[in-house]
Structure 1
Amino acid sequence: MSARSEHQSVPLSVLLKRELANEKIEKPEVVILHGQASENKKGEDFTLLKTECQRVLGDGVSTYSVFGLFDGHNGSAAAIYAKENLLNNVLSAIPSDLNRDEWVAALPRALVAGFVKTDKDFQEKAQTSGTTVTFMIVEGWVLTVASVGDSRCILEPSEGGIFYLSADHRLESNEEERVRITSSGGEVGRLNTGGGTEVGPLRCWPGGLCLSRSIGDMDVGEFIVPVPHVKQVKLSTAGGRIILSSDGVWDALSAEMALDCCRGMPPEAAATHIVKESVQAKGLRDDTTCIVIDILPLEKPPTSVPTQKKPVKGMLKSIFRKKSSESSTFIEKEYLEPDVVQELYEEGSAMLSERLETKYPLCNMFKLFICAVCQVEIKPGEGISIHEGLTNPGRLRPWDGPFLCSSCQEKKEAMEGKRTSDRLSSGSD
């Protein structure tokens, strides 16, 4: 009887997961080759490269890879902290027991929650450094890229064309972000040297940061937000090449130049050559870091990379360079054109109420008594709806989830300019 009781004490879900882990690990669909190179001036660039990470899902065990670039400023503390904590914060925001398609669909929301939690936790350490982040998760043929700052991620699929998977949050070039900051209580202008003379790029004041989004930077006001632009695409089965680089590369080379200068090279040599070309063109004025990733079908020789540029359909060019009206809606897994790059999701709003909305294919994406950002338990009656205070909530009601704890609600309100940040600045690069 005791043996029988011991056997019954093991939940069925645990036994199933053990069987899946031991016997049913899916074979990877793709070969991922990568290389990185860097030239340092300040020592504030950091990278994260993790391949063949395993996870147990509701329908089996699968693998994914993670690539991250963290370009720090005003010190390296924020970049190091984000490198060490961001992935875990993203994964903790994904519900358990999702199948593969649901897991991929959950990534855009989880990335938003993970970025905000990482920023919130780091700022509690009262350190004033900050970091840009470009963060990519590769699951099969699906690439999900989240970005804050001015590092850049580009894709050249095997069928040709250049697609931009990240956003540039430099105030000099992003008018939408300038409007957002000024409407939230910040000021945007150039450095005033006295006598009315203004020099340099546009900056956010207080603080003097040239970027509108980052992780950290507690000394420049909370209208510099950590909410990332997220883009998700599905490659064709022919694969492609990705270049993920800090601004030290993109200040010197265009996307076309970066791809052309390393064409035919394996990833490690390609990354080294891109960095070399960048430094030769502009000199080593900043940390210059490059990650090159080739995603190839299993049957394709590992050394095969895109060898020539081919014209891309005008329709595809337009959807990757200009956001469509339906770009923030997840597309179902039946794709009409399986042999070209597919855009699955894109959204860049800085509003958490829009980024964590309930209009989603997963009914269990957000649990009732768990904060959607920091994942702490919320007592009944203490959770605050992400939609609270909206002037035009539509069909949403104040008691509809997802919910935030009081601390994350304060963070949300500060980022939206609904309360005055008490963080003053002493200046940042």
Structure 2
Amino acid sequence: MSSKGEHQTVPLSVLLKRESESEKIENPEILHGQASQSKKGEDFTLLKTECQRAMGDGVATFSVFGLFDGHNGSAAAIYTKENLLNNVLSAIPADLNRDEWVAALPRALVAGFVKTDKDFQAKVASVGDSRCIFESGEGGIYYLSADHRLECNEEERERITSSGGEVGRLNTGGGTQIGPLRCWPGGLCLSRSIGDMDVGEYIVPVPYVKQVKLSTAGGRLIISSDGVWDVLSAEVALDCCRGMSPDAAAAQIVKEAVHTKGLRDDTTCIVVDILPLEKPSAPLPPPKKAVKGKLKAMFRKKHSEASSQSDKEYMEPDVVEELFEEGSAMLSERFATKYPLCNMFKLFTCAVCQLEMKPGEGISIHAGTSNSVKLRPWDGPFLCSTCQEKKEAMEGKRPSGSRHGSDSD
């Protein structure tokens, strides 16, 4: 132990190891695969790796994986696949450094989902019940999305009814009710989707967003439509494809789901392996068995017994770290000034569609909300008139038109 006032020295080997690991974390190896069995032809996927974006501190690469489960037709799913990513990226200011870009992404996701829904309705969002799970290389299992089925989400049911919608099951007459809980009018069993327009817009496109920083152990990401999750638990989905490549794993998960209950719906799966550069792509190390019904929230990486005492003394904890989580359906909350992003966004630009406005033309995102007592009407962010109409519609302040839809992860 060093005495007070003395500097504690760190072995050079430890410093070099930290630097080496840091470089590998920035550029992990990404392997992916997908599989699907179609009944309706309404599931679509988006897989893009090595996407480049100019940033304030150079050029960065990122990968995008999306699953779009259409209902009542494929129009909204196709439109979302083709436009959502560009709408999200256009909502991120230029010349941000890496940390600023990551911090701006949650707000940009909200803007991109709402703009996609708004544009689709004019021309013809995680929203829905597709689900994303992650298993770390050390065996921890994490839910990275939130289900928006009315059957299992009390908060969403309360939001819809407080906005003027109704939630209930199909009535076959004589008081007998069947099936899952649905939103009326419209009869949709989801509370969030893109493109549903005959439900008074109580069904909103505002996404649940969760950001996590992965550990150096890497892990496996599984994104699947409800055709998988209606049949398989997270543990079963992961166990049935243990040690397989991403392509083979995706095919096995779909096969397992269809074998269990038959092909009742489009059944689609994306598997992504995120591994440090020095690790092989397969097989993944077997996880510790989790207690049924309980998923780990965080894990600490264990060091091998061969590690030196100095390594153990100076090694920093290696964990899956949650950076951001927000699921509110209210734009006034998702664009609130609590985000440390005020200087990143233009003052007179619509926060949703990025339309440039003259001073005085924009409508404060806080106008008419309970926050307006504390925040003045001229406090931003601002919306253009059409995006303000969209905001009011999502809060149940006006009706809307016909129906298609897509839920996304």
* TM-score bracket relative to the smaller structure: 0.7 to 0.9
Higher-Rg structure is 2
The correspondence of residues 202-241 of structure 1 with structure 2, limited to 5 A, is 202-241=181-220
Q: CA deviation at 1:424?
A: 6.6
The correspondence of residues 220-369 of structure 1 with structure 2, limited to 5 A, is 220-309=199-288, 317=296, 338-369=317-348
Q: Deviations over 1:311-344 (max 9, x none)?
A: 69xx983589xxxxxxxxxxxxxxx965110011
Q: CA deviation at 1:422?
A: 3.8
Q: Choose the corresponding residue for 1:74, options 63, 72, 75.
A: 72
1:162 is aligned to 2:141: yes
Residue of structure 2 in register with 1:41 after alignment: 39
Change (3 A) 1:427 1:303: closer
Q: Give the 3-state SS of the residue equivalent to 1:69 in structure 2.
A: strand
Question: Contact (CA 8 Å) 1:189, 1:203: kept in 2 or not?
Answer: yes
The correspondence of residues 165-180 of structure 1 with structure 2, limited to 5 A, is 165-180=144-159
Q: Give the 3-state SS of the residue equivalent to 2:80 in structure 1.
A: helix
- Gaps in structure 2 of 5+ consecutive residues: 1-23, 300-314
Question: Contact (CA 8 Å) 2:363, 2:388: kept in 1 or not?
Answer: yes
Question: Contact (CA 8 Å) 1:206, 1:427: kept in 2 or not?
Answer: no
Report the TM-score when normalising by structure 1: 0.81
Q: CA deviation at 1:301?
A: 1.6
Separation in 2, partners of 1:393, 1:219: 30
Q: Choose the corresponding residue for 1:420, options 376, 381, 398.
A: 398
Question: Contact (CA 8 Å) 1:159, 1:340: kept in 2 or not?
Answer: no
Q: CA deviation at 1:226?
A: 0.2
Separation in 2, partners of 1:149, 1:89: 19
Pairwise CA RMSD of aligned residues? Answer: 2.4
Q: Deviations over 1:245-274 (max 9, x none)?
A: 000000110000000000111100000000
Question: Contact (CA 8 Å) 1:206, 1:424: kept in 2 or not?
Answer: no
Q: Deviations over 1:217-238 (max 9, x none)?
A: 1122211000000000001011
1:195 is matched by which residue type in structure 2? G
Residue of structure 2 in register with 1:328 after alignment: none
Separation in 2, partners of 1:40, 1:302: 28
Q: CA deviation at 1:400?
A: 1.2
Q: Give the 3-state SS of the residue equivalent to 2:210 in structure 1.
A: strand
Q: Deviations over 1:61-116 (max 9, x none)?
A: 11000000000000000000000000000000000010011101111000000000
Separation in 2, partners of 1:337, 1:316: 24
Q: Choose the corresponding residue for 1:104, options 102, 105, 111.
A: 102
Question: Contact (CA 8 Å) 1:236, 1:338: kept in 2 or not?
Answer: no
Q: Choose the corresponding residue for 2:27, options 9, 26, 29.
A: 29
2:118 is matched by which residue type in structure 1? K
Question: Contact (CA 8 Å) 2:68, 2:406: kept in 1 or not?
Answer: no
Change (3 A) 1:316 1:59: farther
Separation in 2, partners of 1:32, 1:190: 43
Q: Deviations over 1:9-59 (max 9, x none)?
A: xxxxxxxxxxxxxxxxx9961000000000000000000000000111000
Q: Give the 3-state SS of the residue equivalent to 1:114 in structure 2.
A: helix
Residue of structure 2 in register with 1:151 after alignment: 130
1:125 is matched by which residue type in structure 2? K
Question: Contact (CA 8 Å) 1:241, 1:306: kept in 2 or not?
Answer: no
The correspondence of residues 45-60 of structure 1 with structure 2, limited to 5 A, is 45-60=43-58
Question: Contact (CA 8 Å) 1:156, 1:162: kept in 2 or not?
Answer: yes
- Gaps in structure 1 of 5+ consecutive residues: 1-25, 127-132, 134-146, 321-335
Change (3 A) 1:77 1:316: closer
Residue of structure 2 in register with 1:185 after alignment: 164
1:89 is matched by which residue type in structure 2? N
Question: Contact (CA 8 Å) 2:70, 2:405: kept in 1 or not?
Answer: no
Residue of structure 1 in register with 2:20 after alignment: none
Separation in 1, partners of 2:287, 2:111: 39
Q: Choose the corresponding residue for 2:119, options 102, 118, 121.
A: 121
1:380 is aligned to 2:391: no
Identity %: 80
Residue of structure 2 in register with 1:90 after alignment: 88
Q: CA deviation at 1:310?
A: 5.8
Separation in 1, partners of 2:38, 2:201: 29
Question: Contact (CA 8 Å) 2:71, 2:404: kept in 1 or not?
Answer: no
Separation in 2, partners of 1:350, 1:96: 27
Change (3 A) 1:170 1:316: closer
Residue of structure 2 in register with 1:8 after alignment: none
1:421 is matched by which residue type in structure 2? P
Q: Deviations over 1:262-303 (max 9, x none)?
A: 011110000000000000001000000000000001111222
Question: Contact (CA 8 Å) 1:161, 1:310: kept in 2 or not?
Answer: no
Q: Choose the corresponding residue for 1:399, options 359, 362, 378.
A: 378
Change (3 A) 1:37 1:395: same
Change (3 A) 1:426 1:205: farther
Question: Contact (CA 8 Å) 2:73, 2:405: kept in 1 or not?
Answer: no
1:391 is matched by which residue type in structure 2? S
Q: Give the 3-state SS of the residue equivalent to 1:317 in structure 2.
A: coil
Separation in 2, partners of 1:164, 1:267: 19
